[in-house]
Amino acid sequence: MQVTINGKEEKLFGNPPEVGEQLPKFKLESAESEKVKTADIVGRITLISTVPDIDTPVCSVETRRFNQEADKYPDARFLTISNNTIEQQKDWCAAQGVENLQLLSDESLSFGYAMKLYMPNFGALARTIFIVDQTGKIVYRQIVPEITDEPDYQDALSALEKLAKRIDD
């Protein structure tokens, strides 16, 4: 699969999982230097957004936006994943006042390779949004075609709302 960066084609490590598939096994690191595995995510509706570099303008805007939206979905967990170090992520969260979502580091590239979202030539994750249900099944996938563009927030949040309503009914 390919995406573009400023119009230049960039290959992903492979083909990211499709809607209906289970999350693959991976390990991430939290701000508290704790390992977060796939099994730790399963059990709750989760919106996972991946960004290439939290210290860039578009990634920063995207993460702040999801931080603001998280309050509206008390039954869902919001995660943002980047290849930044946990120190870079902690500094960014402190500077931005981000408290409603969890920023996780994929410095080890476990997530990027497992989800096929790593761009080897660029050295970072693609910009994506995945929503998984409580069983770890992917129910929504958005791979932003141009890395420098923001995702379609409304489309992702509408999918999250539909999933939350199904569970409430």
Query: Which residue among the candidates 51, 54, 59, 126 is catalytic per the annotation?
Result: 59
Q: How many CB atoms lie within 10 A of CB 26?
A: 19
Contacts of 104 (CB under 8 A, 6+ apart): 28, 29, 30, 36, 79, 80, 81, 89
Q: Is 59 a catalytic residue?
A: yes
Q: What structural domains does the chain harbor? A: 21-160 (3.40.30.10)
What's this model's pTM, rounded to 2 decimal places?
0.94
User: pLDDT tens digits, the chain, 169 residues: what are they?
Assistant: 789 999 999 999 999 999 999 999 999 999 999 999 999 999 999 999 999 999 999 999 999 999 999 989 988 999 999 999 999 999 998 888 888 899 999 999 999 999 999 999 999 999 999 999 999 999 999 999 999 999 999 999 999 999 887 665 5
Tell me the angle at which helices 57-70 and 153-168 cross, rounded to the nearest 10 degrees: 20
